[in-house]
Each structure stands twice: as structure tokens, then as C-alpha cells.
Structure 1
Amino acid sequence: MTWLLLAGAIVSEVTATLCLRTASRPGAHKGWRVLVGAGYAAAFAFLSLALDAGMPLGVAYGIWAACGVALTAVASRVLFGEPLTRVMALGIGLIAAGVLLIELGAAH
């Protein structure tokens, strides 16, 4: 259950960040800002619930932040045509390795 809560936090945060990109455009409808606020509020609520369910803070925050960065970079490429260079892809791979190491380290 804690992993589902953490996944909810990640999806909410990435969604809010992508909406922030749209909300910041000139002439954007103010409803986008509401989605941004609701997404970030949901992300922190899910993260808090994951912590309440027993997930260690270092693991939860590390995975939440790392996955958020990686997913936002990929989604920005797909949705907005933003650059995703080889160096950035390498960084995403290093993030994935870091998340794996955090999880393996927490298991001991």
C-alpha cells in the first residue's frame, strides 16, 4: 500500500509540474493554476500518507524526487517538444540507478 501512495505522490507532482508549464504561458486560463495547486496539494498528501504507512523518509523522498525529475523530463519532451539530450538521458539513467541503490540500501 505504501508504494501505491508513493506512486500517487509522484503522478500528482509530475502532473502539477506539467500543468505549471501550461499555466505560465501568456493568456493561459486561470483554471490551469487551480490544477497546479491541487496537484501539488495531492502530491504532499499522498507523500504524507506513505510516510504515515511506515515508509522511511529518506526512501520516500528520494524516490519521489528522483522519479519526478525523470518523468517530468521525458513528459516535457513528449508533450512540449523540449530537448532531451544524450547527457540528460544519461542523467535519467543515473537517477534510476540511484533510486535502485536507495531501495537496496533501505532493505538492510
Structure 2
Amino acid sequence: MTMYLWLGVAIVSEIAATISLKLSESFTRLVPSIVLVVGYLVAFTALSFALKAGMAIGVAYAIWSAVGVAFVAVIGALFLGESMNLTMAGGLVLIIGGVVMLELGQAR
């Protein structure tokens, strides 16, 4: 269970860092730039702890990246004025479905 906690920290940190990447405006805004750097440091550190706790790297990276992509896309559409249409939403569903299949395959 510890590995999922570390993975959750990695995901939240990566999402915060990625959103801050846009908000930093090419590192010209101080606070988002700091959140970006700290967020990615925390994300990779927490991901390494999840791997050390026993999570398989393929599953960890699939979950980390898919959840990050989905949340960043939704946050971008809701709060940053970026587009989202049915085709894009369908792509996100396929990404998440692929991750679920990886996790189910790992359980066998």
C-alpha cells in the first residue's frame, strides 16, 4: 500500500509542476517557476520510492503518466482556456483503459 501512496504523491506533484510549466511563462514568473522545479523534484523522488517499495516500473510509469495526462488535459480545458472535444476525451478514455489493462495483467 505504501507504493500507491508514493505514486499518488508523484502524480499530484507532477500535475502541479506541469500546470506551473505553462503558468511560469518560460520561467519569467517566479512563483510558478519555483513550483515547477520543486514539483518535478518531488515527483521523481516519490516515483523512485514507489519503485523501491515494490511497484513494477511499467505499471508505475503507465499510471503516473496516464493520470497526469488526463488531469492536465482536463485542468487545461477547465481553467486555462485550452480546447477539449469528444475525440480528445475519447483518447483520454483509451489511455486510462490501457493503464487499467496493464494493472490487471500485472495482477495475473
TM-score when normalising by structure 1: 0.93
TM-aligned CA deviation for residue 96 of structure 1: 1.3
Per the TM alignment, residue 83 of structure 1 is displaced from its structure 2 partner at its CA by: 0.5
What's the CA shift string for 1:18-38, capped at 9, x where partnerless? Answer: 011110169x53222111000
Distance (Å, rounded) in 2 between the aligned partners of 1:83 and 1:68: 17
- Corresponding residue of 1:65: 65
When the two structures are aligned, how many residues end up with a matched partner? Answer: 107
Structure 2 residue aligned with 1:91: 91
Question: How far, CA to CA, are the matches of 2:29 and 2:21 in structure 1?
Answer: 12
Q: Which runs of 5+ in 1 are unaligned?
A: none
Cα displacement string for residues 37-76 of structure 1 (whole angstroms, at most 9, x for unaligned residues): 0000000011000000000001001111111111110011
Distance in 1, Cα, partners of 2:73 & 2:29 = 24
Q: Look up the match of 1:10.
A: 11
What per-residue deviation string (whole Å, max 9, x for no partner) do you get for residues 68-87 of structure 1?
A: 11111001111112101111
C-alpha RMSD of the superposition: 1.4
1:100 corresponds to which residue? 100
Q: Which amino acid aligns with 1:59?
A: V
What pairs up with 1:20-35 in 2 under 5 angstroms?
A: 20-24=21-25, 28-35=28-35
Give every structure 1 segment of 4 or more consecutive aligned residues whose post-TM-superposition deviation is greater than 2 Å. none
Partner Cα separation in structure 2 for residue 18 and residue 32 of structure 1: 9
Which amino acid in the other structure matches residue 13 of structure 2? S
Name structure 2 gaps, 5 residues minimum. Answer: none
The TM-score normalised by the length of structure 2 is: 0.93
